[in-house]
Amino acid sequence: MRRRQFITLLSGAASSSVSWPLAAHAQLSRKLPVIGFLGAGTPSTWGGFASAFVQRLRDLGWIEGSTVVFEYRWREGRSERFSEIANEFARLKVDMIVTGATLPVAAAKQATSTIPIVFAAVGNPVEAGLVASLSRPGGNVTGVSNQTPDLAGKRVQLLREIVLGLRRLAILANVASASVAAEMAQAQAAASALGLEVITLEIRRPEDIAPALETLKGRADALYVVIDPLVSANRIRINTFTLGERLPTMHGAREAVEAGGLISYGTNLPQLFHRAADLADKILRGARPGDIPVEQPTKFDLVINVITAKALDLEIPPALLALADEVIE
């Protein structure tokens, strides 16, 4: 099934499931386990992640509508939706909540201490207070970390290799998230250690993005975008602005580079949701989430958009191109 078709199905599932009578839902959930998928974006931005999760569960024998039921809900650009959706899933008594990123996981944990929660792509789940430890999470939460704060120094170095004469680095981050704030601090420290002037742009809502970017005009040589659902949902807006201002950008995921960003270094997000499905399978078969260690990635992808580089009149070093896992051209 093509990705576009799958996203259409997800959109239909999300809209139709909202209108189900609770009695009908309860009757169905008694027959099959119900997984609540809390999408931290929209079906268009998060549909691929849901697809990776569902496909891996299918490989493990969990077929939608046959051996398992999915309830899809989407943030749709409103931060308050995280708590609304998490509380709805708790009321529906779903058998599991699956999501990604720190803020929706925190909302789910706040809503329930008994329903298993499986996450993907959380930067530092211990520091964020989501689990007691990586080896022994405890409670009802486990998942797959993306270790993104640990990569901040490497990302700054890569950006410096591409942008010759880099002196002023802006960092854009949704500081409402603990993991994002941690990465921002590490990126700032790495940049300062290299003698770069740092400009921090703190955002919390979609409405903060445009004013924050406007303050950059003529003040920065490059922009480091800290990955989280808020900036991911607005990656086209961010890249449109930076291309207009001729600002090279560093991102945490290939999806932003596909949307016109210059470079990304980080984990493969669909693969993290693929691995999260393995953990969900264990729980569906009786394992306790608190006994399942949080997994960590072992590989990080370097993705470079040569089209964007040409638009910015940047020459990508041949050695760096040779190291890239993917070159968009």
Q: What is the pLDDT of residues 286-323, one digit of tens each?
A: 999 999 999 999 899 999 999 999 999 999 999 999 99
Closest CA relative to residue 98, chosen from 70, 118, 68: 118
Q: Domain check: are 16 and 162 in the same one? A: no
Name the pTM for this structure: 0.86
Other beta carbons less than 10 A from residue 32's beta carbon: 16
Amino acid 223 reads: L
Q: Domain check: are 206 and 238 in the same one? A: yes
Q: Domain check: are 136 and 228 in the same one? A: no
Q: Give me the residue label for tokens 């922009």.
A: 223
| DSSP one-letter code for 294 | P
Q: Domain check: are 252 and 316 in the same one? A: yes
Q: Domain check: are 135 and 279 in the same one? A: yes
Q: What is the pLDDT of residues 92-134, one digit of tens each?
A: 999 999 999 999 999 999 999 999 999 999 989 999 999 999 9
Q: How confident is the model at residue 150 (pLDDT cuts 50, 70, 90)?
A: confident
Q: 161: domain CATH number? A: 3.40.50.2300
* Three-class DSSP category at 293: coil
Choose the weakest-confidence range: 26-35, 137-146, 149-158: 26-35
Q: Domain check: are 209 and 64 in the same one? A: no
Q: Domain check: are 228 and 281 in the same one? A: no
Q: What is the pLDDT of residues 211-258, one digit of tens each?
A: 999 999 999 999 999 999 999 999 999 999 999 999 999 999 999 999
Q: Domain check: are 138 and 232 in the same one? A: no
Share of the chain above pLDDT 70, in %: 91
Q: Domain check: are 138 and 236 in the same one? A: no
Q: Domain check: are 137 and 216 in the same one? A: no
Structure tokens that stand for 183 in this block: 């990465």
Whether 113 contacts 140, CB under 8 Å: yes
Q: Domain check: are 22 and 129 in the same one? A: yes
For residue 313, is it left (φ>0), alpha (ψ between -120 and 50) or beta?
left
Residue 30 predicted with pLDDT over 70:
no
The backbone torsions φ and ψ at residue 88, rounded to the nearest 5 degrees and listed phi first, read -65, -45
**Domain range spanning residue 173?**
149-266+300-328
Domain count, the chain: 2
Give residues with Cβ within 8 angstroms of 211, minimum separation 6. none
HEC sequence for 108-175 = HHHHCCCCCEEEEEECCCCCCCCCCCCCCCCCCEEEEECCHHHHHHHHHHHHHHHCCCCCEEEEEEEC
**pLDDT for res 7:** 40
Q: Give me the residue label for tokens 């638009």.
A: 311
Residue 2 predicted with pLDDT over 80:
no
Share of the chain above pLDDT 90, in %: 84
Whether 138 contacts 290, CB under 8 Å: yes
Helix (H) or strand (E) holding 52: helix 43-59
CA of 105: how far to CAs of 99, 222, 232, 239, in Å?
6, 31, 17, 27
Q: Domain check: are 81 and 112 in the same one? A: yes
Residue 197 predicted with pLDDT over 90:
yes
* Exposure on the CB side of residue 301, measured as CA atoms within 13 A: 20
